[in-house]
Amino acid sequence: MTPPLALTCGDPAGIGPEITLAAWRRLRHELPFALIGDADHMAALGAPAGVPVARIAGIAEAAQVMPRALPVLHQPFTSAPVPGAPDLGNAAAVIAAIDRAVKLARAGDAAAVVTNPISKKVLVDGAGFAHPGHTEYLAALGGVARPVMMLVAPELRAVPVTIHVPISAVPALLTPELLAETIRVTHAALRRDFALPAPRIAVAGLNPHAGEGGLMGTEDETVIRPVLGALRAEGMDLAGPLPADTMFHPPARAGYDAAVCMYHDQALIPVKTLGFSVGVNVTLGLPFVRTSPDHGTAFGIAGTGRADPDSLVEALRLAHRIGRNRAAA
């Protein structure tokens, strides 16, 4: 039997708590998870929403408790959270919840880590957080130097090679080593985590028309094409470099299992167009499974009842599937 999922609280002033309550309603009879957060805070939020909350002593209890109440592994906050008003005093507890979830996953007690959104600024200002972001912190906990981000929508999996950098910086960062490593990690994840024995990967070009033979930039010919040739020689099924403007219509998507893109928007625009409210962020290459909803803390709508839980629900479902696939492998 697959262990429960460990869901972190994220920033408690954001929408994480309310979408967690909604996710429990949707999934209570489908899959077990335990929230790592303040049980008293969740009970206070759950009461008017009609969601019972149960404090559990260990994550193994989650499966039994899940059908009747939201299982919570108590991680107390220093200050009472107020929706939409982030509190630096709670930063350490947010980090502690992440640490605890990773420890459970690495011990095999949790099938996966699913993370609610955090505010990097709150963690930096409140707890001296020294990492560029959530993903990089999880990579450090897992002993991984360079994690790979995959965005998953119902009709597309896309991986950006470079992520949160200016467009002007992309060509210099796009080295053969980085591209080859990203494709290798993606290929391995498709086999193990998505149970695809012979993955097909489409690789976008960097420039318009994939450079058009060097007329619109040389990186496609000098960097991307040689890497793809070397990886094909290792047995990978790779298409590209392909013009990005013709890669994402339905007949094109039918020909591959994942798209590797050269920069952030090249990957995220099609994913968000095809599945804006249900996209899931998956971190590849970690020694544990990690997914998250593809959105932020949304402080501006926290506590208003307008938060959409769909992305978190899909993140939990995908984490459960990947956890089962890894166990089977």
User: Is it the case that residue 2 has pLDDT exceeding 90?
Assistant: no
- pLDDT digits over 192-205, tens only? 999 999 999 999 99
Q: Mean per-residue pLDDT for 49-76? A: 97
- The whole-number pLDDT of residue 329 equals 85
- The whole-number pLDDT of residue 128 equals 96
What are 311-314's contacts with CB under 8 Å, separation 24+? 311/277, 311/278, 311/279, 311/280, 312/19, 312/20, 312/22, 312/23, 312/114, 312/116, 313/22, 313/23, 313/26, 313/27, 314/278, 314/279, 314/280
Q: Is 135 annotated as a binding residue?
A: yes
Q: Mean per-residue pLDDT for 121-142? A: 94
Nearest CA among 132, 121, 208 for reference residue 165: 132
Domains 1-147+286-329 and 149-283 are alike in CATH topology: yes
Task: Say how far residue 105 (Cα) sits from the centre of its chain.
Answer: 15
Check whether the bond before 241 is cis (ω within 30° of 0).
yes
Sheet strands side by side (includes 113-115): 53-56, 70-74, 33-37, 5-8, 113-115, 290-293, 280-284, 148-153, 156-160, 258-261, 200-204, 237-242
From the options 2.30.110.10, 3.40.190.290, 3.40.720.10, 3.40.718.10, give the CATH code of 149-283. 3.40.718.10
Q: Is 222 annotated as a binding residue?
A: no
List the Cα angle 102/108/111 in 5-degree steps.
75
The sign of the CA dihedral 136, 142, 147, 153 is negative
Q: Measured between alpha carbons, how far is residue 206 from residues 76, 96, 256 in Å? A: 47, 39, 19
User: Is it the case that residue 257 has pLDDT exceeding 80?
Assistant: yes
Least confident of 2-6, 129-133, 228-232: 129-133
- The whole-number pLDDT of residue 148 equals 96
User: Is it the case that residue 1 has pLDDT exceeding 80?
Assistant: no
User: Is it the case that residue 97 has pLDDT exceeding 80?
Assistant: yes
Strands 156-160 and 258-261: parallel
Spans of all domains in the chain: 1-147+286-329, 149-283
- Number of Cβ within 10 Å of residue 292's Cβ equals 25
Q: Is domain 1-147+286-329 given the CATH code 3.40.718.10 in the classification?
A: yes
H-helix or E-strand spanning residue 158: strand 156-160
Reported as a pLDDT band with limits 50, 70 and 90, residue 169 is very high
- Contact predicate 304/183, CB 8 Å: no
- The whole-number pLDDT of residue 93 equals 97
- pLDDT digits over 259-280, tens only? 999 999 999 999 999 999 999 9
Reported as a pLDDT band with limits 50, 70 and 90, residue 291 is very high
- The whole-number pLDDT of residue 262 equals 98
Reported as a pLDDT band with limits 50, 70 and 90, residue 84 is very high
pTM score: 0.96
Q: Is 74 annotated as a binding residue?
A: no
Q: Give the bridge partners for 282, in sequence order.
A: 150, 291
Task: Say how far residue 54 (Cα) sits from the centre of its chain.
Answer: 27
Q: Is 281 annotated as a binding residue?
A: yes
Q: Which two tokens stand for residue 153?
A: 């929508």
Q: Is 164 annotated as a binding residue?
A: yes
Q: Mean per-residue pLDDT for 222-229? A: 98
- The whole-number pLDDT of residue 164 equals 84
User: Is it the case that residue 47 has pLDDT exceeding 80?
Assistant: yes
Q: Is 131 annotated as a binding residue?
A: no
List the Cα angle 90/91/95 in 5-degree steps.
120
Task: Say how far residue 214 (Cα) sits from the centre of its chain.
Answer: 35
